[in-house]
Amino acid sequence: MSTVNRENARRRGGDTAGRILDSAERLVQARGFNGFSYADVAAELEVTKASLHYHFPGKDELGLALLARYSERFGAALDAIEAEVPDAPARLAAYVALYADVLRGERMCLCGMLAAEYVTLSEPLRERLIGFFDVNEVWLERVLEQGRADGSLSFAGPARETARLIVSTLEGAMLVARPYGDLERFTAAASGLLATLTA
């Protein structure tokens, strides 16, 4: 790397690949994977499209990198909840807060957005998208079982099904709340959901 480029990277405040991912992630979450282009990212970062192709040869590779980073970050957030929050109801509330934070940035969940575009995605992207939801379900399932065991949560049937209900409700609440530009719509739905579990 040249001295000039190193200086540029420093001034920009981070590695270029990371900045590309930041920009692309925001664009996908706002407009969808089919609703953004390399040109959009290039304009935002004030670099050329060709430069983006150096870091991510094709849009599919970019999508895979996006999803990998998102899943990793989400997984880390789940680990953090387990480390910092002991009881099951509070863990669920912290889980909901993860979604609320995304929506606050006027973004849709990356994976909810990709789920809408599922039919148009490459096979590798599809597989990893499914993997994201699976991880969420497994994590919620454990929290739900913990809560049922210690009496802090109450629900009927397999914990896995309630876990799926939670994921569905939160994704749907984000989806519908965003057009209204109304975070309260999301939090109200989430509260209503959690209320049925702590009753």
* Residue 184 buriedness (CB in 10 A; 0-12 / 13-18 / 19+): exposed
For residues 27 and 166, which CB has a smaller minimum distance to DNA in the complex? 27
Q: Under rule CB under 7 A, which residues in 57-116 are in contact with DNA? A: 57-60
Q: Under rule CB under 8 A, which residues in 82-111 are in contact with a second copy? A: 108
Residue count of the chain, please give it.
199
Task: Give the separation between CA 174 and CA 183, rounded to whole angstroms.
Answer: 8
For residues 162 and 155, the answer to whether their CB atoms sit within 8 Å is yes
Query: Would you count residue 48 as binding DNA (CB under 7 A)?
Result: yes
Task: Give the separation between CA 171 and CA 125, rounded to whole angstroms.
Answer: 19
- The contact pattern for a second copy, residues 119-148, with x = CB under 8 A and - = no contact, is xx-----x--xx--x---------------
Query: Which span sits near DNA by CB under 7 A: 46-54, 83-91, 97-105, 168-176?
Result: 46-54
Query: Would you count residue 16 as binding DNA (CB under 7 A)?
Result: yes
In SS3 terms, 120-132 reads as HCCHHHHHHHHHH
Binding stretches for a second copy (CB under 8 A): 30-32, 34-35, 108, 112-113, 115-120, 126, 129-130, 133, 156-157, 161-162, 164-165, 167-180, 185, 188-189, 192-193, 195-196
